């Protein structure tokens, strides 16, 4: 629960330290006194975007700190590193005049998103904005599911729907890709034919350049080969013969000095190498005689490769990769139908598992809606809406929808195929109508209070903050609203901004917000009231400070023993 709220330099609040207690806490004060600023402070702690206009004029920063007592069942206890006996938590937020904002959780720097996550688990604010949310039918399924005893079924549905949507999106991409490729198929086949006609292999371009260069110099090339073989192995003075004679001389020298025998061996190896070179020359000469290649054909082939390189802005290896890529795309076009059929079968499989889940979820929602209808109807009637009838309409899809996938997809939401809407009849003899089109402000306040009372039970949130939940409520219904708030406060900490003395007199903890002038500046302050101060404040709320109103205020407070004991 919220134990303390410390505010500095927020709008007209210069420095305020507001304490809260268990049960029903009320904030009262004249219109414009600054009660909404207290609510704004809590909203800022909850991660709401900070508006620099909230910074008190002349200040370089505003700070808000909330001190919370967390219950043993708090779901974030382990994540936040709380020990068994730890139960206090601090959230602090600061806004500088340069627009920079910082957040601390238990003294450690944190983020606004973390503060939002923590406060959402500790308190819930119900202001005019939340009442407008109640009028939006798209939120009604969330209200209903918030008290669902079938949360595991919801989770399973949500997971399966997500899988189904991903499969549908995958199929859509595959069909889109297939159609796109089909439109390019003729062009792709043209490009593939062009690249395949080059018969490209690794190193082909270099090999062609070598061949062309050799053929361009064929006569000189053959002449040099012939001269080389003559020098190496033909004639009376060939290199091989001369070296052979030199080996014999070295062998004779070796008889005198052994070192020349090593030289002789080295020369023998050289002779072997020269003989291999001679054979290579002879093979090359024979090949040149056997190979009759047209240099113009080779030049045309090389020119085609170079033209393709310029066209595609790729080297030879890149052209080979592109050829294989185009082959793969064309092959995928041929295999595309099979892949699409496979994706269709996967979607069918998911639907076969999803539809029974959707049907079960619809049945559970309808059963829950029926039971809640009766309870809400009873409680709003207790709040003066005698002829009222509340009904939760649950409209569900059917198996017939599956025959039309597009329609099925439109009906399917992340939470199933149900459409939930709150309906109301405010007077006997009338038909039920959508909540958004029938209720008055006072009726909406009463319905909101009842719905929050019912739906909050499953959320395990310890603190509820109501901003003028009594809006539009007359004095004749004020006691009934006060009863409901008191009943709610038996299990939760309730903080209520109110203008009704009936509600204020039921509080265990009464805080008055007022404005005053300090150094020619307007300042708002929050004060916890004692008994006599409460009598004066409730007298004011009753219309003035006459003896009669003061006596009535005393009677209202004396009828509330808890208020008397805590205030005194």
306-310 mean pLDDT: 87
Q: How far apart are CA 37 and CA 80, in angstroms?
A: 29
Phi, psi for residue 330 in degrees, rounded to 5:
-65, -35
Please tell me the predicted confidence (pLDDT) of residue 104: 94
Please tell me the predicted confidence (pLDDT) of residue 106: 92
Please tell me the predicted confidence (pLDDT) of residue 208: 82
Q: How far apart are CA 420 and CA 45, in angstroms?
A: 32
Q: How far apart are CA 521 and CA 505, in angstroms?
A: 32
Tokens of 37: 């600023």
Please tell me the predicted confidence (pLDDT) of residue 478: 85
Q: What pLDDT digit, counting tens, does each position of 183-223 carry?
A: 777 788 888 888 888 888 888 888 887 777 777 676 777 77
Q: Which domain holds residue 553?
A: 529-568
Q: How far apart are CA 385 and CA 53, in angstroms?
A: 42
pLDDT cut 70: percent of the chain above it: 94
Please tell me the predicted confidence (pLDDT) of residue 564: 35
Q: How far apart are CA 206 and CA 316, in angstroms?
A: 10
Please tell me the predicted confidence (pLDDT) of residue 235: 60
Tell whether 316 is covered by a domain. yes
Please tell me the predicted confidence (pLDDT) of residue 129: 66
Of 280, 309, 333, which closes a domain? 333
In this prediction, residue 563 has a pLDDT band, given cuts at 50, 70 and 90, of very low
353-359 mean pLDDT: 94
Tell whether 79 is covered by a domain. no
Q: What pLDDT digit, counting tens, does each position of 456-501 carry?
A: 776 778 999 988 787 777 777 888 889 889 999 998 999 999 989 9
Q: In whole numbers, what is the pLDDT of the chain averaged over residues?
A: 85
HEC per residue, 11-34: CCEEEEEEECCCCEEEEECCCCCC
Please tell me the predicted confidence (pLDDT) of residue 203: 82
In this prediction, residue 293 has a pLDDT band, given cuts at 50, 70 and 90, of low
Tell whether 286 is covered by a domain. yes
420-424 mean pLDDT: 94
Tell whether 234 is covered by a domain. yes
DSSP class of residue 494 equals E
Helices then strands, each counted (H, E), the chain = 18, 15
Tell whether 181 is covered by a domain. yes
Q: Which residues contact 246 (CB under 8 A, 6 or more apart)?
A: 267
Residue 517 has pLDDT above 80, yes or no: yes
Please tell me the predicted confidence (pLDDT) of residue 449: 86
Of 333, 361, 376, which closes a domain? 333
Q: How far apart are CA 541 and CA 48, in angstroms?
A: 32
Residue 43 has pLDDT above 70, yes or no: yes
Domain total for the chain?
2
In this prediction, residue 561 has a pLDDT band, given cuts at 50, 70 and 90, of very low
Entry pTM: 0.66
Residue 294 has pLDDT above 90, yes or no: no
Residue 530 Cα distances to 52, 463, 566, angstroms: 36, 23, 8
Tell whether 342 is covered by a domain. no
Tell whether 454 is covered by a domain. no
Task: Say which range, 232-241, 264-273, 506-515, has the weakest mean pLDDT.
Answer: 232-241
The number of CA neighbours under 13 Å toward the Cβ of 512 is 22
DSSP class of residue 42 equals H
Q: What pLDDT digit, counting tens, does each position of 238-251 carry?
A: 787 788 888 888 88
Residue 568 has pLDDT above 60, yes or no: no
333-339 mean pLDDT: 74
Of 333, 359, 375, which closes a domain? 333
Tell whether 383 is covered by a domain. no
Q: What pLDDT digit, counting tens, does each position of 370-406 carry?
A: 999 999 999 889 888 888 999 999 999 998 888 888 8
């Amino acid at each position: 629960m919220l134990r303390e709220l410390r505010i500095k330099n927020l709008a007209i609040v210069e420095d305020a330290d507001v304490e809260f207690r268990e049960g029903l806490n009320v904030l009262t004060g004249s219109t414009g006194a600054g009660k909404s600023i207290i609510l704004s402070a809590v909203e800022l702690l909850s991660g709401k975007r900070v508006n620099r206009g909230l910074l008190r004029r002349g200040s370089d920063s505003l700070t808000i700190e909330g001190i919370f007592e967390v219950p043993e069942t708090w779901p974030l206890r382990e994540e936040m590193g709380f020990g068994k006996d730890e139960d206090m938590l601090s959230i602090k937020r600061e806004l500088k005049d340069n627009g920079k904002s910082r957040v601390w959780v238990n003294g450690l720097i944190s983020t606004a998103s973390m503060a939002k996550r923590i406060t959402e688990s500790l308190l819930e604010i119900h202001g005019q904005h939340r009442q407008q949310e109640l009028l939006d039918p798209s939120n009604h399924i969330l209200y209903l599911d918030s008290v669902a005893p079938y949360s595991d079924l919801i989770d399973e549905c949500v997971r399966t729907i997500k899988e189904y949507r991903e499969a549908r999106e995958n199929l859509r991409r595959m069909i889109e890709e297939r159609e796109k490729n089909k439109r390019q198929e003729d062009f792709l086949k043209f490009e593939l034919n062009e690249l395949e006609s080059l018969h490209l292999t690794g190193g082909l371009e270099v090999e062609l350049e070598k061949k062309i260069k050799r053929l361009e110099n064929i006569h000189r090339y053959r002449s040099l080969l012939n001269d080389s073989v003559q020098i190496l192995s033909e004639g009376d003075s060939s290199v091989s013969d001369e070296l052979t004679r030199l080996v014999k001389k070295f062998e004779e020298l070796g008889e005198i000095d052994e070192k020349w025998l090593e030289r002789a061996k080295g020369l023998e190896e050289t002779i072997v190498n020269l003989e291999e070179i001679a054979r290579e020359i002879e093979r090359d000469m024979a090949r040149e005689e056997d190979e009759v290649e047209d240099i113009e054909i080779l030049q045309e082939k090389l020119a085609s490769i170079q033209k393709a390189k310029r066209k595609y802005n790729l080297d030879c290896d890149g052209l080979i990769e592109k050829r294989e890529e185009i082959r793969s795309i064309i092959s995928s076009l041929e295999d595309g139908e099979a892949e699409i059929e496979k994706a269709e079968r996967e979607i069918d499989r998911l639907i076969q598992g999803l539809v029974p889940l959707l049907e079960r979820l619809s049945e559970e929602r309808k059963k829950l809606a029926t039971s809640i209808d009766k309870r809400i109807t009873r409680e709003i009637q207790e709040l003066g809406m005698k002829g009222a009838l509340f009904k939760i309409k649950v409209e569900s899809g059917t198996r017939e929808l599956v025959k039309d996938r597009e329609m099925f997809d439109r009906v399917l939401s992340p939470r199933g195929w149900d459409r939930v809407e709150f309906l109301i009849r405010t007077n006997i003899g009338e038909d039920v109508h959508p909540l958004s089109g029938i209720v008055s402000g006072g009726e909406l306040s009463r319905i909101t209070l009842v719905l929050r009372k019912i739906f909050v039970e499953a959320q395990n949130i310890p603190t509820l903050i109501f901003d003028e939940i009594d809006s539009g409520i007359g004095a004749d219904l004020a006691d009934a609203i006060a009863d409901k708030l008191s009943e709610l406060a038996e299990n939760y900490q309730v903080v209520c901004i109110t203008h009704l003395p009936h509600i204020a007199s039921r509080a265990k903890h009464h805080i008055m917000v007022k404005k005053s002038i300090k150094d020619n500046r307007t300042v708002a302050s929050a004060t916890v009231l004692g008994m006599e101060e409460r009598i004066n404040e409730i007298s004011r709320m009753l219309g003035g400070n006459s003896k009669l109103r003061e006596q009535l205020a005393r009677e209202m407070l004396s009828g509330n023993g808890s208020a008397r004991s805590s205030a005194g």
